[in-house]
Structure 1
Amino acid sequence: MSVTAWQPQPGETQLARDLVAFATGVAPQVSGMRWFRDTNRLDVQDHLPGWPEGPRYAPRTKPEQRTRSAARFGLRGLYAVVAGGLETLAGSGSVTKVPRAIGHPPEDPDNEVEDFPVLWAAPDSLARTLPWQLDPGRRPAGYLTYAVVTDRRVVILGRADDGRAGPEVLWECARTDIAGAERRNFSKENSDAVIRFTDGSWCRLHVSLPYGLLRYLATPHELLGDDRLSPGQREAVAAFTARHALATRPVVSRRPSGNVLVEYRTGDGPPPAPGSGTGGYQLMGPDGEDVEDQPDDY
């Protein structure tokens, strides 16, 4: 199904949209790889309906890992020498100091170091219905996939990156089919997320801007109309709308902490834009006052 521009249905609220794809391993044994598994850890890519042939991977042996690590160490050593020189110059104000990378340890070694499944699905489970276009190793060059989260459903859209055709609806499920989502920091750009379905299956996606998408997948959301806001909160929403010159009311939701989040997103209009995320937000308390972030707010 191709459409010129995807829009929510009447009465449906779009909450988040972002570029997504099946994730890619970063540990030496599985770097650049991914697998599609059943609950016995068997490869099921040949049994996924409608999927074309794709690349087949094998975890690297210890000698291969050492060779690869040695090559990377050589590059890091060269970088360290260059960076050290640049940092010395930076002390004199000649150049900007080179930032240092921050690493994260594996959170799930069985699925991040020894193996790297991006699909974990028993027969007839929902994860097995995900579209093959999410796989960077199968889809055409320049093809992009997006996840859209609304108050009713999750939709996967796909489109060629040439701007000549509208997005194609590849897949969707009800929002109630999502059990939760967690960010995975042991990943490229710290931007992987595991999306869990209520039937026990799950997928691991690389998400361009994970906070916006995960906010509405990690926990059930509660959208608030003006009739459910205090007078102070209604005034704060009106001021937020005027301050950002918004043509429509921003999305207002209650977070698990009890705080109320007001936000709008840039690039919300069709067609989806790469990297479109939160354009502005405000977190407020019972009377519309600004409050500090709580762990569950974002």
Structure 2
Amino acid sequence: MDCHPEPDEPLLGRYAVSFATGTAASVDGRRSFRDRRRDDIEPELPGWPEGSSTFSVRRLPGKIGVYARDALSAPFVIAWGILCDLLGGGTIDPEPGRGKLEERENEVDDFPVMWADPGDTARALPWQLDPARRPSRCVTEIVLTPGRLCVVESDTTLWDTPRDNVAEATVKQFSLGRRDFRLTFQDGSWARLTTRLSTHTTELVELLNGGTVPEQGHSATVQP
């Protein structure tokens, strides 16, 4: 079913989204899928194709490689990152454009983008949201109307839920450009997603929380 608004159902917003990706050195480029006991549920998700890699948290030797890569654009980041690790820190981020660490357990020690038990809303989100599984040219978008939140790809609906099933949307500060956001559903399950522009994240979160954005933001579509 295509998610086109009915004549009396205005389009509030349309934004390209995907599951977020870790940015701390321990989880850089990685994401996990967890139930509420923090067990891995990735192999249990029905119909999902195999991912490109198995999630693991980097230890210090692996993190040094990430710091070395980043050092090409950020002087002294290797020494600074190693020092933070040795001191048990990691909350100070030398990389411009990323805000304060909010949840170490979900942003450094792990990076879940789906938090859901069987039957929870978030567990039904489509695999096409995962950049590690979908074709490189695939674009998934959130389409928002007053009554529905849809995930679409090529204007075909992959998943939808009533708008009032979204309990809260929150911008996640510890993300590059503050582009990540969390969707929390009424059953307590949640997903961490990202857009390609921080302004679109801000607009989408505002809309999901019942606010409004300028008219030019209502039909914004970001291509990855």
Give the drift of 1:108: 1.0
Match status 1:195 vs 2:183: yes
- Which SS does the other structure have where 1:265 is aligned? helix
Give the drift of 1:267: 7.9
Amino acid at match of 2:20: A
Change in CA separation of 1:65 and 1:262 when aligned onto 2, cut-off 3 Å: closer
2:47 match = 50
**C-alpha contact (below 8 Å) 2:98/2:178 kept by paired residues:** no
Candidates 19, 24, 27, aligned match of 2:21: 24
Amino acid at match of 2:161: C
Candidates 144, 147, 156, aligned match of 1:152: 147
Give the drift of 1:149: 1.1
Per chain length, whose mean CA-contact separation is higher, i.e. which structure has more relative contact order (CA < 8 Å, sep 6+)?
2
Give the drift of 1:15: 1.1
Candidates 61, 65, 68, aligned match of 1:67: 65
How big is the alpha-carbon RMSD for the aligned residues of Structure 1 and Structure 2?
A: 2.3
1:88 match = none
Distance 1:199 1:71 in 2: 40
1:95-127 deviation per Cα after TM superposition (whole angstroms, max 9, x unaligned): xxxxx9344221111100110000000111010
Candidates 173, 180, 185, aligned match of 1:185: 173
- Which SS does the other structure have where 2:131 is aligned? coil
**C-alpha contact (below 8 Å) 1:192/1:204 kept by paired residues:** yes
Larger of the two Rg values belongs to structure: 1
Q: Percent identity?
A: 37
Change in CA separation of 1:63 and 1:262 when aligned onto 2, cut-off 3 Å: closer
**C-alpha contact (below 8 Å) 1:149/1:155 kept by paired residues:** yes
Match status 1:111 vs 2:109: no
Equivalent residue pairs, number: 202
What is the TM-score of this pair, normalised by structure 1? 0.63
**C-alpha contact (below 8 Å) 1:185/1:192 kept by paired residues:** yes
1:265-298 deviation per Cα after TM superposition (whole angstroms, max 9, x unaligned): 3683xxx8436xxxxxxxxxxxxxxxxxxxxxxx
Give the drift of 1:75: 4.1
- Which SS does the other structure have where 2:161 is aligned? strand
Going by fraction, where is strand more abundant, 1 or 2? 1
Gaps of 5+ in 1: 79-99, 160-166, 222-254, 256-260, 276-298
What is the TM-score of this pair, normalised by structure 2? 0.82
- Which SS does the other structure have where 1:172 is aligned? strand
